Amino acid sequence: MVAGARPRGRDAMPVYVQLLKWTDQGRKNADSLVDRVETVQKRVADMGVNVIGHYLTMGQYDQVIVCEAPDDETVAKITVMVAGRGNVATETMRAFTMDEARKLI
């Protein structure tokens, strides 16, 4: 298997990386971040999403989320839900394993 690849079984889902920047409102609500993240993670799990990692980061972005989701539409619904609360602006990328890239190329 190629480095950075993961097994793709019948139940494997696409991987997404979300980059989040706090808005002024998000900065004001920073003290409730962990509780808000836990609430959202429970809700997205009910939508079939597996959060691989959710990180507070330094630099250009304030948070990074890596998750597996059934499809683009599910991720779009989550993005609208999260961004609609006004605490973050998001950028979402579909991530391909090296095995998937080999098939694409």
pLDDT at 57: 97
Domains in the chain: boundaries: 15-104
Given a cut of 90, whether residue 5 has pLDDT beyond it is: no
Specify the fold of 15-104. Answer: Alpha-Beta Plaits (3.30.70)
pLDDT in tens, 6-36: 555 556 899 999 999 999 999 999 999 999 9
SS3 track for the chain: CCCCCCCCCCCCCCEEEEEEEECHHHHHCHHHHHHHHHHHHHHHHCCCCEEEEEEECCCCCCEEEEEECCCHHHHHHHHHHHHCCCCEEEEEEEECCHHHHHHHC
pLDDT in tens, 83-96: 999 999 999 999 99
pLDDT in tens, 46-76: 999 999 999 999 999 999 999 999 999 999 9
